[in-house]
Amino acid sequence: MRITLSTGTPAEVARPSNAEPTRGLVLLPDIGGLRPLFDDHARRLADELGWVVVAPEPWPGREQLELAERLESVKTLRDDDKRADLLAAAELTGCEAVGVMGFCMGGM
């Protein structure tokens, strides 16, 4: 389910279909950002782990950028903005224990 974090950043949220979640996971997409691949990852992880999974969009307001533009604009990403998104995503899980999993650029 797509939602907007308190920071204004879009995110995908997946909850386990068969259990009450006990933990949360913030899933950080690769340079391609949120797309069906990461929606599927979030749903699969939520069901397999029984956790709430929140995946924030790394390029809020710039989702239309092509790969070359994303590569060039990586240096414009602000640590404070990314940290705020990470904390907002973790809070949205509603869980005391929250892990972080990143893919490629999202795992730097």
User: Which residues, 6+ apart, have CB-to-CB distance to 98 below 8 Å?
Assistant: 23, 24, 25, 26, 90
* Distance (Å) of CA 25 to CA 11, 57, 72: 13, 15, 28
The number of folded domains in the chain is 1
Q: In sequence order, what are the beta bridge partners of 24? A: 52, 98
What is the rounded distance in angstroms from the CA atom of residue 95 to the CA atom of residue 23?
Answer: 5
The predicted-structure confidence for 21-37, as pLDDT tens digits, reads as follows 989 999 999 988 999 99
The reply to whether the predicted model has a pTM over 0.85 is yes
Residue 83, CA atoms < 13 Å, CB-side half-sphere: 3
The predicted-structure confidence for 29-82, as pLDDT tens digits, reads as follows 998 899 999 999 999 999 999 999 999 999 888 888 888 988 888 888 888 999
Q: Domain limits at 79?
A: 2-107
Which CATH number characterizes residue 64's domain? 3.40.50.1820
